[in-house]
Amino acid sequence: MALTVAAASTQAMGVALATNIGASSTIKIYSGTKPATPETAASGTLLVTIPISGSFTSTTNGTLTAADPAAASPAASGTAGYFRLATSGGTAVLDGTVTATGGGGDMTLGSTSINTGVPVDLGVPTINVPVA
């Protein structure tokens, strides 16, 4: 059985999440399997860190977006498995899976192969808060 959430509550959750993330957050993409919770230490190899300038903003349907970050240079080569969104102070806020486009991951990339010397361009980061 799945929960359903009222639209007003979804909006409130989106605003609260955007506030918690704050300004100048980062998205780090790692190889390997997503940890059980964001409080669990990151595992795998850190492939690339993508700085987010400004803050995420929430729309009326609980969708959060941020400005399109610049492409980032990978620190290591490998296969992307998960990402971690963290505050500017490094506190993990959320983790999600990474798949190639069409693979159903929480984040989709054109390819999950990340290679040093080939910049990673996410496009506009978007987070969807569940709604009924």
pLDDT in tens, 7-50: 888 888 888 999 999 999 999 999 999 999 999 999 999 999 99
Q: Where are the domains of the chain?
A: 7-128
> 132 pLDDT exceeds 60?
no
How do residues 82-110 score in pLDDT, each as one tens digit?
999 999 999 999 999 999 988 888 888 99
Concatenate the DSSP letters of all residues of the chain into one string.
------HHHHHHHHHHHHHHH-BS-EEEEEESPPPSSTTSPP-S-EEEEEE--SB-EE-TTSEEE---PPPB--SS-EEEEEEEEE-TT--EEEEEEEEETTS--SEEES-SEE-TTS-B---S-EEE----
pTM of the complete model? 0.91
pLDDT in the model for residue 131: 62
